[in-house]
Amino acid sequence: MPGPIAPVVVLTDEERETLQRWAARPSSAQVLALRCRIVLACAEGGGSNAAVAGRLGISRGTVRKWRVRFMEDRLDGLHDEPRPGAPRKITDADVEKVIVKTLEEAPRDATHWSTRSMAASVGMSQTAVSRIWRAFGLKPHLVEGFKLSPDPQFIDKVRDIVGLHLNPPDAALVLCVDEKTQVQALDRTAPVLPLLPGVPERRTHDYRRYGTTNLYAALDVASGNVIHTMTSRHRAAEFLAFLNQIDTAVPADLQVHVVLDNVSTHKTPAVQRWLVSHPRFHFHFTPTYSSWLNLVERWFGELTTKWLRRSTHRSVRELTAAIRTWITTWNDDPKPSYGTKPPTRSSTASPPTATELTTQDTSSQRSVCAA
């Protein structure tokens, strides 16, 4: 049997104009705009619920609901009915006021808002302000810094270094080289109190210094192995000595591509003459203020976090022995610093795609053992 005939919706000119305005207004809630479109569709030619539902891509029950609500309460029936429970105390306008003040204003006695100062300014509780900030991801107490590189060749240098990592040349080794200067041998003024159940490890705030050392490291990005040395001074002479150490450690049949930063000791005339006499070495300098491109910096972070930050040493000799022990452990199970190299292609093959460059094969790569 056919279902009941839907009541015919007849609109006055004023109602039609209001519905059309609500449906088209950008500031209208989407649910209200949809309800307006339902009523307007029902009023056009007396369409059935099924026809209107098909035209608007919604269910027939939704059309039936808002047709009946409009027939009973006219325009007022399109708004949500009061919900059960305590009435809402903070309106959308109140929320908007908090957001606008947070983003566009500052308190008179501070550079940024706190929950306490914002609550006093808008007449809300600190809990309400905190809830609004969390909902919209606002954190006025936090600030982050950034540094833009002024290097005019920034893009070219980034492409060069990233290309070395993703697609290194055949019969070549890519090394990330840098120095960690002024590594301090420190000991606390009192013994460290060990970790106990419910009690973290404790140490005094003050400490004694027993000297410093400088760590030079060359990270093989294909294998993760590290060549290193430690010196008491940080000059071009020490850097040249480390280059000679790398030259001895790397097999003679491999080209060596070195990624390094722009510190002055890397660019002295003595270093330039050394490069001329060692043509298999190729330097790739990171852009200005962009040492984050040098993967050995990440390795230095591992050393600091896992070993240096919480260790104590009463002499430089003790410090250097501890660093060598950690590096030996690292080289026993090295971790590659990037993806793998793609298979060698013939000269007639099409160039590799971006996806292929990120799924490479290191079978042709030769790694360097730690010195």
Following DSSP, what letter does each residue of 256-280 receive, concatenated?
A: EEEEE---GGGSSHHHHHHHHH-TT
In angstroms, the CA 261 to CA 146 distance is 19
Q: What is the pLDDT of residue 195?
A: 93
Cα separations in angstroms, 349 against 79, 356, 358, 363: 65, 13, 18, 20
Q: What is the pLDDT of residue 351?
A: 36
In this structure, which topology does domain 154-342+352-357 adopt according to CATH?
Answer: Nucleotidyltransferase; domain 5 (3.30.420)
User: Is the pTM of the predicted complex or chain greater than 0.85?
Assistant: no
Single-letter amino acid, residue 260: L
In angstroms, the CA 248 to CA 150 distance is 36
Q: Which of 331, 91, 370 is nearest to 228 (CA)?
A: 370
Q: What is the pLDDT of residue 368?
A: 34
Within 8 A by CB and 6+ apart from 363, the residues are none
Which tens digit of pLDDT belongs to each residue from 255-301?
A: 999 999 999 999 999 999 999 999 999 999 999 999 899 999 999 99
For residue 146, the SS3 value is coil
* Tokens found for residue 1: 């049997």
Residues of the chain with pLDDT under 50: 1-2, 339-371
* In 69-224, beta strands by DSSP E: 172-188, 207-220
Which tens digit of pLDDT belongs to each residue from 21-37?
A: 777 777 656 777 788 87
Domain boundaries, the chain: 13-78, 92-135, 154-342+352-357
Q: What is the pLDDT of residue 63?
A: 78
Q: What is the pLDDT of residue 6?
A: 66
